[in-house]
Structure 1
């Protein structure tokens, strides 16, 4: 034990001074009082706010005048509408806590909760008590005997009796007497058949087991089981050295260290402190969470910075490697150039000459610029059968243009097509006109192209009578009609 404080004014002042020296610590109060009340009741199967509101109404109805309350769900009824079984508990005299809570409020102490030894016996019951029927668990305190009743493994209620004499005979007689009273109450509440014995488990020091067995004997009403307190402590996870202290006289039977260990190690710890009393504890948890978040964020930033630094280092290393490879390649290129025979022109002048040649070659006209649209037109008009195709450059679009000399600058690229039309068109003026219009339309789709038909296969004189060119030219009707046209494109 670190320090003890009496309940008078001097003890409260010493406790407040102790709190001032431990402002960064969180505290849990473990109380062992007779002024505790427990009630088991059912509530309808509700959820959320409706369930919480109903629980608060039940607590205010069962335990008026105290805010030190707690509720535990014990499961649901197996039949019917499956109501939820609730254990309502409270410390019925909050004025006993007020001096201590006032001191903690003044120091802004982080109060994590107010816990009861009665409810902590639930952890011992899991390993010490049989799961069926009503069972009574007796544990000793410094000067008291706590009696906790369990039914089918579920906590029912608990009461506290003062122990005036710590002699084994007196303590054993008190255990038998109190167990008999508990049995009479259970029989009256129809929780135990009047002919059935009550199972009783007593936690005693290892050296007092035989003494208790001498004075505590089974009867028709009671079945007494003496549990070794050090063994129970070790089963609960208490260190072997501390568990070994539960030996010797009955004064060593105080179970408070065991309950403190259960309070420190178990996660589900029912507590009575209201929300306002735990305000500074919640703030400390929020502050701790924020600090952990800051630490995680800082760690993430540091990790990201390290990864970026590593990536930058790798990039620099690769850049240096590429720079060395480039210098080596330049040296090899220079050595290769020096090994070549001398040229009549310098390298720079040669490069300029090559660039100029490539530019001229790119700007030089190509037959493909006209042959490609011509092929598309001929595919769409299979009636036109080409006989000869000439590609030439010219500075004018006048008929009969001859190709330009090699040193002249052309303005137009022209493809001249000599073709034949089907003999049936020689006498069908309408079909021949439609074919020529279709030819002009297909070529004119490309705005860069122009078309001229030479000679016209129809008489252009609108004042005269339309005549067949084949007939006027002396071509027999069964002979294919000749057609010559030019597709031109202006050069850039």
Structure 2
């Protein structure tokens, strides 16, 4: 959302200045005084601006900072601890902020925390109230001191002890940093007759004494002072501010700072530098905006819905274009195929015109070829069934074949003429033979085949159990094939209960071997 326009408002003790952030550039707007007339003018200015999110930056004298050590507690308990200590430190204002910076390297490793608050809420609440009445989506309430910490990190000027001094809309802001962390900040209001150059040197000396007295700055520590000023004032500041063994000045003009931060032109003051960073980056709110923040949540929900609608519309448009292109391509392909088919038809007619006349039509010849292929695939043949018998005989060495009788089972024709199949050949007049059914020759499917097996058993004549077992095992082996049914027509020994056994086991011709007859029915 960094590319979307923003309304930026800079609040000081006596006025509010409006800025517009559009297309990556900051444009200054009107300023409004902190009185009834200014509030009314500000309300009129906000009329019709409900569709643009806003950010409010406070640069006030009434901003307090406190440093403390907190036990390192994470999760919900840690947040509750910070909120309770923060409310005890600043009871009379809702604009409170806690910044957990780093931890002790020894002992309990407590958290180094900086509490800050806008102690005089009356300096901010009227402006926030006007924005709430006009339903302005207030994205966040920020502090100029906290934004200066982002400025130090982006410019890469962090030191162990750094004092950043800049003339801003509220006066002369002095912010003390240890590394990248803000530890303290104060604002000195300048009167109309005060000289900024002299005030910079005097306030630096006062700030150095304060930091030494509060033990933020130790004896012998070097304090680096970075002064942000317009280009026309840098030379005078260099003459007025002199270094000493514990103090080193560094002067950065606004144009050089803009180049380091890669901000667009038109930035003339330090507060515009901070607003440019806030406009380019979407930062979380530092102080709670209160009830005015709900309009920002509604704005985000509306933006999300609009983006989702745009995405759906874009996908629909792409799908529609793809469908149209597919239709055009299919139409072209159909036209090409029709033209190709017409060419093949013309070539076919030309070839057929050169051929001599035939007795049979091409359609009949095509049907004959198809019928021949069908007969080749489904016509009955003894080879598959004989192959099944051969495999079973390999597992029955005592059985020897005497004869095979292969037949195709004749289907029963219905009296209505719609039986197993139409006749293949119509009988002549006076012919009394039965017509051959089409199913016998494999139309429309392979017919049932019957194979009669005559065989004998090559075992001892008195080993009746082996004789019976050989035939039964052969029959079971054949019946195990898919579609095969086996019926023992004549067994080598009749073991039925109704038949009387006669003869002697050791009598008879030793050259006569037991014989059997089996019918094997196979449906392919």
Give the TM-score band, short-chain normalised: 0.7 to 0.9
Match of 2:457 in 1: 421
Structure 2 length as normaliser, TM-score?
0.76
Alignment of 1:43-62 (within 5 A): 43-62=70-89
Matched, 1:40 2:40: no
Query: What is the aligned residue count?
Result: 466
Q: How does 1:263-302 map to 2 (within 5 A)?
A: 263-268=278-283, 271-302=286-317
Cα distance, 1:353–1:257 mapped onto 2, change above 3 Å: closer
Per the alignment, residue 237 of structure 1 pairs with 262
SS in structure 2 of the partner of residue 481 of structure 1: coil
> Which one of the candidate residues 238, 241, 245 is aligned to 1:216?
241
1:481 alignment partner, one of 486, 507, 513: 513
Cα offset for 1:136? 2.4
Residue of structure 1 equivalent to 2:271:
256
**Residue aligning to 1:3:** 30
Counterpart of 2:502 in structure 1 is 465
What is the CA distance between 1:445 and its match in structure 2? 5.3
| TM-score normalised by length of structure 1 | 0.80
Q: Which SS does the other structure have where 2:109 is aligned?
A: coil
SS at match of 1:319: helix
- Correspondence for 2:396 among 377, 381, 385: 381
Q: Give the Cα separation in 1 of the matches to 2:215 and 2:364.
A: 119
Are the aligned partners of 1:114 and 1:273 in contact in 2 as well (CA < 8 Å)? yes
Aligned partners of 2:93 and 2:366: how far apart in 1? 101
- Give 1:104's match in structure 2, choosing from 116, 128, 131: 131
Relative to structure 1, the CA distance from residue 120 to residue 443 in structure 2 (aligned partners, 3 Å threshold; closer, same or farther) is: closer
Structure 1: state its 5+ residue gaps.
Answer: 246-253, 397-404
**Quick check: 1:342 aligned with 2:357?**
yes
Q: What secondary structure does 1:279 align onto?
A: helix
Seen in structure 2, the aligned counterparts of structure 1 residues 8 and 409 have a Cα distance that, compared at 3 Å, is closer
Q: Deviations over 1:396-434 (max 9, x none)?
A: 9xxxxxxxx997759996544444432x43232232222
Change in CA separation of 1:275 and 1:336 when aligned onto 2, cut-off 3 Å: farther
**2:295 & 2:320 partners in 1: Cα distance?**
37
SS at match of 2:97: strand
Corresponding residue of 1:203: 228
1:152 corresponding residue in structure 2? 179
CA-atom RMSD in angstroms: 3.8
Gaps of 5+ in 2: 1-27, 412-431, 441-447
Distance apart, 1:27 and its partner CA: 1.9
Seen in structure 2, the aligned counterparts of structure 1 residues 269 and 172 have a Cα distance that, compared at 3 Å, is farther
Distance 1:317 1:108 in 2: 57
Q: CA deviation at 1:346?
A: 4.4
Q: For the Cα contact (< 8 Å) 1:420–1:480, is it kept in 2?
A: no
CA distance change for structure 1 residues 485 and 17 in 2, over 3 Å: closer, same or farther?
Answer: same
Give distance in 1, aligned partners of 2:495 and 2:230. Answer: 137
Segment drifting more, 112-121 vs 383-392:
383-392
Question: How big is each residue's C-alpha offset from its partner over 1:239-273, in whole Å with a ceiling of 9 and x where there is no partner?
Answer: 45x35x5xxxxxxxx52222222322344465323
Give the superposition deviation at 1:491: 9.0
1:105-131, CA deviations, whole angstroms, 9 ceiling, x for partnerless residues?
A: 111011122222222222443477864
Distance change >3 Å, CA 421–CA 189, structure 1 → 2: same
